């Protein structure tokens, strides 16, 4: 079965396309699905039919988790003085607030984001309010990392995210009390659970967040499962994606991944929106197998971390080196700076 899960974790379409002429794709697919389910890690979170989700620990998954963990736990930002750290964190939060809104279809600019955050300029449109709300939600998280992630914390984040941005029919106290749909270009692409299912699903999610009994589920994997299940439940009429990303951010920071303060995951994710939604659809289509969503998001995380590491080396490290050289009365020429 290895060739069907490493390095590419195949969908049924992938398998049919790559099957040998003497192979029966349907038969192979059925065997593969059974093998994945039997050898996967069962997650104590259920779908609308009360079936559990699961994921498979593939070689590619293990490799990416180790790489991300090493990068994320590195101390490259320790060389910064406190002022530079604060500046970099603020820039990262501005980017995350902006790009998380862009993913949801907002129309504004990074310049307007900077003006609203740094110069206290009032937002003029709902889209600008969405961006500013996202920024305030990230600030709330940084100020409340000592708190447990419980229902109140999630509702607090959502209240900040949605403030003055929802249509009248989408306003509810707490979780949604009716059905909603995920649509694209006026076509329904996902039917979330019925409203009466939301309460127990969210209760299960909160229990999952705060239970660390299953050591097979690495913290980074768990953060991605939390993200997936939240958008699967779709507990609110609107703002689910933004709240899910904020919740994932909080979980990672609470579990020691301070690196994530310094960059925006959504700045990379916005380039892969179609693949992001496809990874969610694959989970639904292929027997609750969250591996598709996990592998896609691990790739995004790795790209994001490598980008911020390179940007840091190119910008902040050069600044630090230049300042130290200036203190010694020396000066770098342009060629030396490039090196």
Question: Cβ–Cβ contacts within 10 Å for residue 212, how many?
Answer: 11
187 and 116 in one domain? yes
User: Is 219 among the annotated ligand-binding positions?
Assistant: no
Q: Which two tokens stand for residue 215?
A: 């050591």
- In percent, the amount of the chain with pLDDT more than 70 equals 88
Domain limits for position 116: 40-335
Residue with tokens 């403030």: 163
3-state secondary structure 162-230: HCCCCCHHHCCCCCCCCCCCEEECCEEEECCCCHHHHHHHHHHHHHHHCCCCCCCCCHHHHHHHHHHHH
**pLDDT of 78 strictly over 70:** yes
- Quote the radius of gyration of the chain (alpha carbons, Å): 22
pLDDT digits (tens, 9 = 90+) for 134-148: 999 999 999 999 999
Contact 270, 279 (CB under 8 A): no
Q: Which residue has the higher pLDDT, 292 or 19?
A: 292
pLDDT of residue 108: 95
User: Is 244 among the annotated ligand-binding positions?
Assistant: yes
257 and 209 in one domain? yes
204 and 66 in one domain? yes
Q: Where are the alpha helices (DSSP H) in the chain?
A: 12-18, 25-39, 59-72, 82-103, 110-118, 126-143, 151-162, 195-209, 219-233, 240-254, 266-269, 273-285, 291-327, 334-338
245 and 99 in one domain? yes
294 and 184 in one domain? yes
pLDDT of residue 22: 79
User: Is 248 among the annotated ligand-binding positions?
Assistant: no
- The residues assigned a catalytic role are 234
68 and 6 in one domain? no
Q: Which two tokens stand for residue 254?
A: 């609470």
74 and 6 in one domain? no
Contacts of 182 (CB under 8 A, 6+ apart): 188, 189, 190, 191, 192, 234
Task: List the Cα angle 77/83/88 in 5-degree steps.
Answer: 50
30 and 56 in one domain? no
User: Is 240 among the annotated ligand-binding positions?
Assistant: yes
- In percent, the amount of the chain with pLDDT more than 90 equals 63
28 and 176 in one domain? no
Highest-scoring range by mean pLDDT, 16-20, 172-176, 270-274, 283-287: 283-287
**pLDDT of 316 strictly over 70:** no
pLDDT of residue 338: 55
Contact 97, 138 (CB under 8 A): yes
231 and 112 in one domain? yes
User: Is 276 among the annotated ligand-binding positions?
Assistant: yes
Overall average pLDDT of the 144-169 stretch: 90
CA–CA distance from 188 to each of 166, 182, 183, 209, 232 (Å)? Answer: 20, 6, 4, 30, 15
CA gap 112, 76 in Å, rounded: 30
Tell me if residue 38 falls in helix, strand or coil: helix
CA–CA distance from 107 to each of 26, 100, 229, 275 (Å)? Answer: 45, 12, 27, 21
**Half-sphere exposure in the Cβ direction for 152 (13 Å, CA):** 3
CA gap 224, 46 in Å, rounded: 16
250 and 172 in one domain? yes
For residue 284, the domain's CATH number is: 1.10.3290.10
Q: What does the buried/exposed string (b/e) look like for 309-339 if buried means 16 or more CB atoms within 10 Å of the residue's CB?
A: beebeeebeeeeeeeeeeeeeeeeeeeeeee
Provide the whole-model pTM: 0.90
CA gap 338, 187 in Å, rounded: 50
User: Is 243 among the annotated ligand-binding positions?
Assistant: yes
Task: List the Cα angle 277/114/260 in 5-degree steps.
Answer: 50
161 and 31 in one domain? no
**pLDDT of 18 strictly over 90:** no
Count the domains in the chain.
2
């Amino acid at each position: 079965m290895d060739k069907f899960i490493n390095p590419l974790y195949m969908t049924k379409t992938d398998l049919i396309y790559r099957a040998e002429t003497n192979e029966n794709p349907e038969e192979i697919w059925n065997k593969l699905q059974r093998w994945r389910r039997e050898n996967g890690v069962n997650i104590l979170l259920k779908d609308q039919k009360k079936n559990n989700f699961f994921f498979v620990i593939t070689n590619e998954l293990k490799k990416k988790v180790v790489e991300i963990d090493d990068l994320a736990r590195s101390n490259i930002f320790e060389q910064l003085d406190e002022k530079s750290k604060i500046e970099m964190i603020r820039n990262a939060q501005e980017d995350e607030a902006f790009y998380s809104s862009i993913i949801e279809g907002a129309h504004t600019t990074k310049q307007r984001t900077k003006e609203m955050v740094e110069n206290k300029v009032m937002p003029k449109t709902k889209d600008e309010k969405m961006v500013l709300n996202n920024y305030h939600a990230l600030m709330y998280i940084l100020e409340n990392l000592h708190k447990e992630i419980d229902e109140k914390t999630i509702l607090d984040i959502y209240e900040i995210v949605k403030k003055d941005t929802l249509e009248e029919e989408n306003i509810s106290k707490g979780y949604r009390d009716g059905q909603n749909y995920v649509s694209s270009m006026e076509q329904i692409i996902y039917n979330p659970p019925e409203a009466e299912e939301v309460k127990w699903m969210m209760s299960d999610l909160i229990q999952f967040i705060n239970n660390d009994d299953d050591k097979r589920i690495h913290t980074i994997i768990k953060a991605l499962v939390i993200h997936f299940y939240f958008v699967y439940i779709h507990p609110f009429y609107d703002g689910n994606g933004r709240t899910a990303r904020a919740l994932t951010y909080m979980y990672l920071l609470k579990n020691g991944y301070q690196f994530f303060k310094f960059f925006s995951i959504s700045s990379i994710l916005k380039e892969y929106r179609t693949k992001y939604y496809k990874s969610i659809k694959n989970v639904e289509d292929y027997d609750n197998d969250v591996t598709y969503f996990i592998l896609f998001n691990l790739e995004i995380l790795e790209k994001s971390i490598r980008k911020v590491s390179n940007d840091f080396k190119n910008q902040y490290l050069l600044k630090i080196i230049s300042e130290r050289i200036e203190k010694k009365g020396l000066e770098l020429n342009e060629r030396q700076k490039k090196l």
